[in-house]
Structure 1
Amino acid sequence: MDQHSRRHVIGSMGAIGLGAILPARAQQTRPVRLLVGFPPGTAPDTVARIVTQKMGENMQQPFVVENVAGAGGLIAAQQASKAAPDGTTLFMNTVSDMSIAPHIYNKLPYNPNDFALISHLVYTDFILAIPPSVPAQSLREYVTWAKSRKDTFMATFGPGSPAHFGTAMFAGAAGLKIEPVHYKTTADAMSGVLSGEVPGLFVTASLGVQYVKDGKLRALAVTSPTRMPQLPDVPSFAEVGMPQAVFSAWFGLAAPQGTPTPILERVSSEARKALQSPDVRQKLEAAGFRISGTNREEFAKIVQKEYAAWGTAARSTGFRAD
């Protein structure tokens, strides 16, 4: 490699502190930004902070989580897609911006192909939960109760969200007609269900488990492939004969397309290493996440599969966000 080419490679990689590739003198300590399209305290933010803290410790490289909330994560996706592909900007991509949004918007402020996939981090499964005021102790009783009513409503965290289309999946599997009630914020939706204003919702495990354990919500079934360790007494939809209602949201790491392959591979390796550490696993699993931790090729296959599945779900509702 000539001197000019060597300087170019070091300049491209050095900003992310890739110690395994570069000599120490070539490394820099400029923080790596991880853009998250949702507010602090939400599921993707929680995952971002837990994982990058460990990555930072292992790599001796500072990471900064930047919350760019709005439009269901689309604003952050737009910013990330236009960032310099030099390894200093990463993006917490999600089921919403990669698997759902392309099916419900005629025009997006980014193209899913604008991103180089790094690692699929976690799944977050959902709990079908109802307030104690609803007279149903099981999923079977809930379906019977819902069929006896003129109208059945379920809250969602917003139109076009995984829970919105998950509600449609459940309705189809159970033979119910359910009208979604879209709230502007997660807090509003939870308040609506806890007060009994709306008799149920699909809530992420990371948020809903504690409400169930505290007796504020009653869990009827979970959308994970098998029972959740946090709620061992609650059956999965697959277990009760409704595999159509098995679905999950997910979060992963990506970078602007054009980011050098050695950087992508190093970050992917470090993300998987972080997810394998006992303290990170304990924190994520306690928070209700199901750990994945893939390489780049495996992540691409997951995105392709999820894109097709959520496209089918979106089309079944006829919903358009434009």
Structure 2
Amino acid sequence: MLMFRLLRRLAQRTALLAPVLAFSSLTTATQAQPVANYPARPVRLIIPFPAGGPADVLGRAIAQRLSEKWGQPVVVDNKGGANTLIAAQEAARAAPDGYTLFMPLDSTYTLNPALYSRLPYDPIKDFASISIVARQSLVLTATDRTSFKTVADLVAAAKANPGGINYGSSTTSTQLSGELFRRQTETKLVHVPYRGASEVVKGMLSGDVQVSFDGIAANVPHIQSGKIRALATTGSARSAALPDVPTLAEAGLKGYELVMWNALSAPAGTPRPIIDRINKDVVEVVQRKDVKDQLMAFGLETGGTTPEEMDETIRRESAKYAPLIKELGLKMN
């Protein structure tokens, strides 16, 4: 009799567990199926800049190769404006299924939180990191109207004439580069903001500013013509696009380093197996020689990181730049 009761209880419990076990198996199968078939339809890649610039060229180079690799179109969607906020907000609200990807600039995650009192997205909670796909040093330049041929020439002139030298920049990152230079050299330079790299170059050629901190790509033709001189780059190592130009650290500013980067993200909640699949494929793509050669002309050096390495970079650079932004009183509405 006791054995009969035990067997009946076991049968009842098995019956109760059966739906749970069935649901668990179904859920596992449902999760695995999209990963195995990914991508099964076109993928949208949101780029937070207009067509034609370095970020757009990078995004299209990656999109083309991933399209070929996946057998599905990767469609570039340019959403420029508002210091990358428009694109970031749209990407954050997209379905976390791997079919909307986002290519942020470093400032999207590391500078904007300190610049805006109300940010329409959370850099940590709203996005899943995939990989940092490219980095670029900035370049410190001087016009041929000046006598500056080295960083030491510029520093000496700035100390002899405090506030008498203007520098141009087009983004918060490039302005920070100038401010870090000013602080480390204990000089007073006057900042002149511009809306884009091409506008900075115009300001240099017209004589409105004598020096600039900006991206490499827009300056290369004028460096080659001699109208603009490249004094130094801002990375820890020389840029492959300007191998003969010393770094600021080499020029005497020990420890100076500021590097911009482009990354690939997805909306938070995107399944980790899909993140890993995209990471594996995009890292392989950006390490190809033809991709590296294509992007070197824009000062972009491709590489690729793990999602965890990207997360750590965001945390480290946010902690580095937020106090400086606050100290300078930089704010965006």
Normalised TM-score (structure 2): 0.87
How many angstroms does 1:286 deviate by? 3.2
Counterpart of 1:258 in 2: which secondary structure? coil
Cα distance in 1 for partners of 2:215, 2:140 equals 9
- Look up the match of 2:319: 308
Please give the alpha-carbon distance, in whole angstroms, between the structure 1 residues aligned to 2:233 and 2:111: 21
For 2:50, the equivalent position in structure 1 comes to 39
CA spacing shift, 1:79–1:243, aligned 2, 3 Å: farther
CA contact (8 A) 1:209 1:288 kept: no
- In structure 2, distance between residues paired with 1:100 and 1:27: 32
Once the two structures are TM-superposed, the CA of residue 240 in structure 1 deviates from its matched residue by 2.0
Q: Which residue of 1 aligns with 2:98?
A: 87
Unaligned runs of 5+ in 1: none
CA shift for structure 1 position 277: 1.4
State how far apart, in whole Å, the 2-side matches of 1:131 and 1:116 are. 42
Gaps of 5+ in 2: 1-20
Shift of 1:43: 2.1
Give the share of equivalent positions with the same residue, in percent.
Answer: 32
Cα distance in 1, alignment partners of residues 240 and 134 from structure 2? 15
Alignment correspondent of 1:168:
179
Matched residue SS, 1:168? helix
Pairing of 1:111-122 with structure 2 (within 5 A)? 111-113=122-124, 114-122=126-134
Matching of residues 164-203 of structure 1 within 5 Å: 164-203=175-214
Alpha-carbon distance, 1:178 to partner: 1.6
Tell me how far apart the structure 2 counterparts of residues 239 and 261 of structure 1 sit (CA, whole Å).
42
CA distance in 1, matches of 2:245, 2:229: 10
The whole-number CA distance in structure 2 between the counterparts of 1:253 and 1:194 is 35
Given that residues 135 and 261 in structure 2 are in contact (C-alpha distance below 8 angstroms), is that contact kept between their aligned partners in structure 1? yes
**Equivalent residue for 2:287?**
276
Cα RMSD (Å) of the superposition?
A: 1.9
Code of the residue aligned with 1:288 in structure 2: it is G
Q: Structure 1 258/140 Cα, relative in aligned 2: closer, same or farther at 3 Å? A: same
Equivalent AA in structure 2 for residue 245 of structure 1: Y
Range 106-115 or range 305-314, more displaced: 305-314
The equivalent position to 2:141 in structure 1, one of 100, 111, 129, is: 129
The counterpart of 1:77, out of the listed 88, 112, 119, is 88
Question: What CA distance in whole angstroms lies between the structure 2 residues aligned with 1:191 and 1:207?
Answer: 10
Q: Cα offset for 1:150? A: 4.4
Residue of structure 2 equivalent to 1:9: 31
Bigger-Rg structure (1/2) = 2
Report what 1:153 is aligned to: 166
Q: SS where residue 274 of structure 1 aligns?
A: helix
Amino acid at match of 1:51: I
- Three-state SS of the structure 2 residue aligned to 1:243 is coil
What letter matches 1:282 in structure 2? D
TM-score normalised by structure 1 residue count: 0.90
1:291 to 302, 311, 322: 302
How much does 1:165 deviate?
Answer: 0.8
